[in-house]
Structure 1
Amino acid sequence: MSPLKLAKRGIIVSCQARADNPLHGPAFMGAMALAARDGGAVGIRANGPEDIAAVKAAGLPVLGIYKILSDSSPVYITPNFDAARAIVAAGADVVALDCTLRPRNGEEPTVLIRRIRDELGVEVFADVSVLDEGLAAADAGATYVGTTLSGYTEATGPKPEAPDVALVEALARRISLPVIAEGRYNTPELVRRAFEAGAHAVVVGTMITNPREITRRFVSLGVPQ
């Protein structure tokens, strides 16, 4: 068995910026990936073929997603096989997709997991929100199970301020696959708690790569009103 792309006890940095963000675009994401690499990250999570191609220059494993919004389904993280194929062609080493139980257009996660592994030959990262979804993704052949969508689905809303460390712990107890903690890990202390709960690795995004949101946090919490 070949070694896992995403190293144990590492930080994966999510380099993403929406279209309304001043840092939107592959040039900025590529620079962020280089900075994350120099800081000790073990992988980069990036969205879409252009950004994925740009972050490859950092030389780290790329956890790729492709966000495709739809009016008819809440599922938008790599929602179909064509999206997965496009990001693998751009350089993604691992494909992450929404593996929640929500209604979707097209193939179910269990089918997509198998097709991505068998036809594209890459590792699969299952973004889930609750324990049952993680168990199903593990049974379907996912390489990793991530807590990415906890707090972002009807089953787990409204979104809390703290990360779902309990889900990390529950998954780590029930499955033999690497469990990746993701979602609102905004301090080193929270990252440490995730590792103590059994996380294989932790994804950190906003608090590393989104200066606008970091500034807003300092303004709202640190400036006297």
Structure 2
Amino acid sequence: MEGKSFKYEVCDQTLTQTSKLVRHQCVLAVEKAFQCEVCNKSFSALSNLRVHQRIHTGEKPYTCEVCDKAFTQLSSLQVHQTIHTGEKPFKCEFCDKAFATSTRFLEHQSTHTGEKPFTCEVCGKSFSRSSHFRIHQRVHTGEKPFICEVCKKSFSRSSNFREHQRIHTGKKAFQCEVCNKYFTQLSGLVKHRHIHTGERKTFTCDVCNKDFEQLWAMLAHHRIHTAGKPSESCD
């Protein structure tokens, strides 16, 4: 593939590698007239807006006939179906590893070449995976597409959203390896482990001698004794 160049007809940019051509996204001055009422993200096509809105509504109209798993986009269903068929037509020439989709194949190749074709126009940071690039962009846009239906709190990452939901569902996914006690959040498990490790807590209330791991927690507690007024004796 070296020595060849490929011209992208949409914006006339010339690329030297097939992988770059496949991944390349032209920045065009297209009016984005369709706006999401939930997160205010805009789209140039109504169809793209409707697909995006499924993030907020939870609608998954495409269902796998084999395992009944549902998806928001047809392309995601088609990728999923390769799990059942076992088809992996894209084979890496470096390590012979095979992939079901061209996207996964191209992203894998970057582990060998070191190529990071997805570059943030705001801060210049580059990424080898398109999924990581999309998540990073939310740092600049402030987009938080994952919204809790119970308390309306929003999140930019699905992992943080799922962890938050355990507060409402009561699901305890983190288990202490010493006493087998369960916790809804990883932070709760980390704090609990101090019971077994014997680590001393740093901040102590000078009124009741209660210990705290963090200064802000001790100061908040101290207001119980001072009727809401911050204490000068608590360092």
Q: TM-score, normalised by structure 2?
A: 0.23
